Amino acid sequence: MSLICWLLLLPAGGLGAFRASDVIRQLNGDFRLELNIYLDCGGHLDELLPRQGLPNLLLNTDSAEPLPRILGRFSERSLTIACGGDNRTLSGMGQLLWGLQHLPVLFVLSSPQEFPFEWALGRGLLRALALNRSDAGLHVLFNVNGFIMVPWARPLAKSLYIVRPFEGSVWAALIGCLVLATVVIRWMRDETSSLSATFLQVMQLMLQQSMSSMRHFTQGLRHVLVFLALFTVGFILNTLYQAQLSSSLTTGLYMRQINSFDDLAAADRKMLMDEFDIEFLTNLTRSKVIQPALINIALKAPLDDVFYHRKHLNTTYVYQAMEDRLHFELFQQKYLRVPLFKTLPEVFYQVPFFVGLRHGLPFAALFNDYLRGIFESGILLKWQGDAYLEGIYSGEIRFHTSPGLRIQVFDMEFYHCTYILLALGWLTSAIVFLAEKCLPHARNA
């Protein structure tokens, strides 16, 4: 369907040299029209009727009889003149133009306030067009998806690698086993040995260290069983710890990734959006299409700022855009060892890519076959490749490079946690040593 709509503001029947009758006469001559339909123009007929021999049809929406339906050759050769912009006139316009294929419409109003554009968009003639209640159709070719791109997880500090091979529960269980083994071995020795010396012996067994001063096979069966248990558990834990640490040093460790909308809503991130996108997101959350918590991370900013930060891959914010646009922006990180951004797999919104066609066209089927052929031939991939090349030539795409080509596995940062543990051990040893020296003197005194 094609809709041609003119809006003529004509106070007191004319405006300068332009009169409504002159405009109607000119339109009739230019478009070779054969019928004029006047809708709700009872009080302005003397000013509107042109001096021509065309047939006129006078209609009024206040009439109890339903509006007629224009058929035959007049369906494409008629001009509709509407003299009001209220809801009744717009509804009557939708009933009158139910099956026309060519719709030239002329609105003659005395002031722009008489035309309720919002009502027309929501419930009037345009609503009938949007609901496909007319002789037209939209041939959707495919849906363009909108996605959200989030910053890649930040790398974990090298100083924490030494404690990351095991989870916190494993470390707690390991410490509990060491304490339990120390107490049991000291109890089996009738509490004759020092508690600290027993703890050091258990640590030596767990860490696969030699104990030349102690022969377990001479201590009885119970000592042999404890030795075998500690040696087996220590061997397994040591091997697993070294394998996990080597793998972490090779591949690197990162903080938790954002993989879904739920993770994004719970993360401490802000999604940079303009006013229109925030309103769109609000409507989505109100209709419960996506997680309502996403509206809490939206940060309003001018559209130019959104484009600037997204183009330069600023990892401070989260961004949303069409799929092809995100691919264009993320093409800049092609040569990075670790990417700056990733795209969430969930679809944020969809926009149909369509071509409007009127029903009954003889070449509609041929046109559809042609469109399907050119898209199956890979024209979209060709457009994408050309867009990348043009982006590189124009400077829109600037490839990011990694800061260094070599991976420093054992740098000074890696030993920070080790040095801290060593310092705590020395401090604890010094406190214990001073306590052992000072307590006997305090008791004697």
pLDDT above 70 (res 268)? yes
% pLDDT > 90, the chain: 5
pLDDT at residue 334 is higher than 60: yes
Q: What is the average pLDDT value for the chain, to the nearest integer?
A: 75
Tell me the mean pLDDT in the region 216-228. 67
- Split at pLDDT 50, 70, 90, the class of 309 is very high
Reported as a pLDDT band with limits 50, 70 and 90, residue 21 is confident
- Euclidean distance between CA atoms 349 and 334, whole angstroms: 26
Does the pLDDT of residue 8 top 60, yes or no? Answer: no
Predicted pLDDT at 16: 46
What are the residue ranges of helices labelled H in 37-167? 45-48, 87-96, 117-122, 125-130
Beta-carbon-side half-sphere exposure of residue 258 (alpha carbons within 13 Å):
25
| Chain position carrying tokens 């220590």 | 234
- Specify the pLDDT at position 1: 40
Burial of 306 (0-12, 13-18, 19+ CB in 10 A): buried
* % of the chain surpassing 70 pLDDT: 71
Residue 319 has pLDDT above 90, yes or no: yes
* Residue 144 binned pLDDT confidence (cut-offs 50, 70, 90): confident
Instruction: Decide if pLDDT at 117 tops 60.
Output: no
pLDDT, residue 13, reads 47
Q: Is the pLDDT of residue 364 over 90?
A: no
**Type of residue at 67:** L
Whether pTM > 0.85 for this model: the answer is no
Per residue in 161-175, pLDDT tens? Answer: 777 788 888 888 888
User: Could you read off the pLDDT of 194-214 as tens digits, one per residue?
Assistant: 777 777 777 777 776 666 555
pLDDT grade for 372, boundaries at 50, 70 and 90:
confident
Look up residue 196 and give its amino acid. S
Least confident range from 92-96, 313-317, 416-420, 434-438: namely 92-96
- Is the pLDDT assigned to residue 146 strictly greater than 80? yes
Please tell me the distance from the alpha carbon of residue 85 to that of residue 119, in angstroms, as a whole number.
10
Cα 432 to Cα 93, 196, 302, 438, 439: the distances in Å are 96, 10, 63, 10, 10
pLDDT for residue 11: 46
Task: Choose among 277, 412, 297: nearest CA to 349.
Answer: 277
| pLDDT tens per residue, range 397-437 | 888 877 654 555 556 666 777 788 788 888 887 887 787 77
Cβ(277)–Cβ(249) below 8 Å: no
Give whichever of 27-41, 91-105, 402-416 has the largest mean pLDDT. 27-41
Structure tokens at 269: 């991130």
